[in-house]
Amino acid sequence: MKRKPLLYTILFIELMVGLVLLYNFNYLVSAFKPKPLVTPEGVALSVEPTRPSIAVAQTQQAITQSLAAGDLSPAVLSVFAPLPAVANLPDQPLTDAMVNLGRMLFYEPRLSATQDMSCNTCHLLAQYGTDQLPVSIGHVGRPVTRNSPTVYNAAFQIAQFWDGRSPTVEEQAKVPILASGEMGMETLENVEVVLRSIPGYAQPFAEAFPVFEWRSYPVNR
């Protein structure tokens, strides 16, 4: 055999072997991994015992010690306390009329530019306050960049949004209405015009906010 064809044959065989190895890469890797230990009953045991981080271990130890001594501190206990029944504003007790109006607005598609999207489109109250999608679908069917967290109990959180960029639910509520990718309204003034044009809102607003003046009220001024 001449040298050139021999070289080509060797190269071809090497290429084939390489491709076969590449194709079976995952299988080969798993074949060399240590096998999980299995008890006689067939229950798999992890080879490496899982070690909790030092911080977690210390917290667990502190809680175990204070429980044993019967002196769980009020600070620790407050973390486990039930949530308050009502999320009142500091300077404004919540009334039934406010809750009713809030419910109407939450389901109001006319708060969106295309009049087809309400808060409940992405935070379905019947689905634990989420749309259960990898990312929410916004204005004119375009996906937004994040998924919708639940709105259940959101008022008790220390901040809103995944990055905490909004301090309160009152501040937060303006964002999706005006966000171009979400409900897409142009300005807050437009939102007011729309709400004022709907006769069905006159009474609920008057009952919820008897001394209502646009933007003089503590919520969303």
Sign of the C-alpha dihedral computed for residues 156, 162, 164 and 165 taken in this order: negative
Give the residue from 98, 83, 93 showing the smallest Cα distance to 153.
Answer: 83
Q: Which amino acid, 113?
A: A
- Shortest distance in whole angstroms from residue 208 CB to ligand HEC: 16
Amino acid at 118: S
- Each residue 149-178 as x (binds ligand HEC by CB under 6 A) or -, in order, gives x-x--x--x--xxx------x--xx--xx-
Least distance (Å) between residue 213 CB and ligand HEC: 21
- Terminal alpha carbon distance of the chain: 90
182 in catalytic set: yes
Beta bridge partners of 166: 160
Residues 178-217 that bind ligand HEC (CB under 6 A): 182-183
Residues forming beta bridges with residue 103, ordered by sequence position: none
Q: How many residues bind ligand HEC (CB under 6 A)?
A: 25
Strand, helix or coil for residue 166: strand
Of 101, 123, 191, 208, which one interacts with ligand HEC (CB under 6 A)? Answer: 123
Nearer to ligand HEC by Cβ, of 72 and 188: the residue is: 188
Which of the following is catalytic: 48, 182, 186, 207? 182
Which residue(s) pair with 89 in the sheet?
92
| C-alpha count within 13 angstroms, C-beta hemisphere, residue 155 | 10
Instruction: For residue 102, state whether it binds ligand HEC (rule: CB under 6 A).
Output: no
Residues noted as catalytic: 182
Q: Which positions touch ligand HEC (CB under 6 A)?
A: 117, 119, 121-123, 136, 138, 144, 146-149, 151, 154, 157, 160-162, 169, 172-173, 176-177, 182-183
